[in-house]
Structure 1
């Protein structure tokens, strides 16, 4: 019991000492512990630079892209999608990776496998497949690319599957399991990934 009380007291001390960067209470504590990436600023106002994000743009700063230490046997240039953690990793040299927050498939639509990027599109159009129309009859037959398109600013097509890594006009869905199988990223992040990943790149979804 004394050890438990000591551990609880130490945790409380850490929580009081941690600087609150955004919000208050437990949410503020999480922000302080994870924080935005170095050099990234969270602002409630309209961002003035590429290093600023609106506080409510994503649900938590942990989903903002950043370079991290990352151990893997996969070669640099490989994309690893960790659906349980809601992160996409682009493997870099020297034990590093670019980490992006993502939205993934909801319950019943999960999948895994290894594919190659078979095509890339800027502001892709959207043609919902027949299976999606059966579930949601009100969907359009076709939607041209643009800001209102749920495919977002960029798309990377995965082999011959119907799945894609794409942007979204619902950035608050990052970090959640909400899609029909596609991997969602913020438009800023998918534009960044699009510029780094060529056609033919290996994609591992776990």
Structure 2
């Protein structure tokens, strides 16, 4: 129900904005007056968007050979740059639940799997003995539709069928994306793409 309400609100703003833009073309003074009457929302939304912003690759990577992925665990964002600088993507992510599950540093994509299966790590089974030993590909799989395996054992950038996890501390160490975002990133990243988690 919440999503439907949000969609309706967004459509109303879109339609209202389109009508406003059309009116502004005819009478620029209408636009100026309307903008002045809009409430100042910068203080309410700044906290939500201030960390989720486009970044330049150069402070983080010496080059873009094979492309580059930067995961910012603080802002819960994944940045991707293609090797020729023609593509830049910014995705919201889930990040590890706790600091002790969070790994930072440089790694790379060593394998790409569409329709991954999943086995909990020994540490996960110890914390959650009720979890199954194996989950095949499909809607119950916690890795979603695609996975980029990193050179660090057990660490992946993957999708999730549980969209509530995105934007939160909700993983056991991996970086999660919406399935449609990991599918796009899967097509852009290569085996050998450099990855930095900060």
TM norm structure 1: 0.66
Partner of 2:106: 114
Structure with the bigger RCO (C-alpha within 8 Å, sep 6+) is: 2
Counterparts of residues 162-173 of structure 1 (less than 5 Å): 162-173=154-165
Q: What is the distance in 1 between the residues matched to 2:55 and 2:107?
A: 21
Among 38, 63, 70, the residue aligned to 1:17: 38
Point out 4+ residue stretches in structure 1 off by more than 2 angstroms: 13-16, 92-97
Are 1:85 and 2:106 counterparts?
no
SS of residue in 1 equivalent to 2:108: strand
Q: 5+ residue gaps in structure 2?
A: 1-33
1:1-37 residue CA offsets vs partner (Å, 9 max, x unmatched): xxxxxxxxxxxx9896169xxxxxx8xx64xx89xxx
Counterparts of residues 134-149 of structure 1 (less than 5 Å): 134-149=126-141
Tell whether the 8 Å contact from 2:92 to 2:177 is kept in structure 1 after alignment. Answer: yes
1:151-202 residue CA offsets vs partner (Å, 9 max, x unmatched): 1000000014211000001112111111111000000000000000011110
Are 1:205 and 2:197 counterparts?
yes
Partner of 2:56: 71
- Find the structure with the greater CA-based Rg: 2
Superposition RMSD in Å: 2.9
Aligned length: 154
C-alpha displacement of 1:94: 5.3
Are 1:190 and 2:182 counterparts?
yes
Are 1:101 and 2:92 counterparts?
yes
Tell whether the 8 Å contact from 1:114 to 1:202 is kept in structure 2 after alignment. Answer: yes
Are residues 163 and 14 of structure 1, via their aligned partners in 2, closer, same or farther at CA, if it must alter by over 3 Å? Answer: farther
Counterparts of residues 45-64 of structure 1 (less than 5 Å): none
More helix by share: 2
Are residues 118 and 95 of structure 1, via their aligned partners in 2, closer, same or farther at CA, if it must alter by over 3 Å? Answer: closer
Are residues 14 and 194 of structure 1, via their aligned partners in 2, closer, same or farther at CA, if it must alter by over 3 Å? Answer: same
Are residues 15 and 190 of structure 1, via their aligned partners in 2, closer, same or farther at CA, if it must alter by over 3 Å? Answer: farther
C-alpha displacement of 1:91: 1.7
Q: What is the distance in 1 between the residues matched to 2:151 and 2:36?
A: 47
Tell whether the 8 Å contact from 1:123 to 1:146 is kept in structure 2 after alignment. Answer: yes
Q: 5+ residue gaps in structure 1?
A: 1-12, 20-25, 35-59
